[in-house]
Amino acid sequence: MYNKNSRKKHKILFLFHAIERIKKWEVKEEMIVETLLLPEEVLVGHGNRYIAHRRYGDHLVRAVYEYENDLPILLTVYFPYRERYYKGGGTYEDKIFKGS
């Protein structure tokens, strides 16, 4: 996957479950990549997981991921209304793309 701003290639593994959720929520893969590489906020989830957020209209992409040997693995995706989960932005507990 390429970041438009840096032209740097990033590897991110999408699990089958995450792909199924992308289809269920009818979210474009580009939105997921943008959320992972250029999030508005990243929160700590359960265990060693992170939740990247990016707003799209009244909704929010929630991309839940973890690392295995430094490789980001997308576990699942949600597309809820943003007022339920969005904390206001600016919190970055993690960044896949460290240059952002």
Q: Kindly list the structural domains of the chain, giving each domain's residue range(s) and its CATH number in brackets, ordered by start.
A: 13-85 (3.30.2310)
Query: 78 pLDDT exceeds 50?
Result: yes
pLDDT tens, position by position, 6-35: 566 789 999 999 999 999 999 999 999 999
When the pLDDT of each residue in the chain is averaged and rounded to a whole number, the result is: 89
Closest CA to 21 of 95, 80, 71, 72: 80
Element (H, E) at 60: strand 59-68
pTM of the model: 0.86
Closest CA to 76 of 52, 92, 96, 100: 52
How much of the chain exceeds pLDDT 70, in percent?
88
Sign of CA dihedral 21, 39, 75, 30: positive
pLDDT number for residue 60 = 96
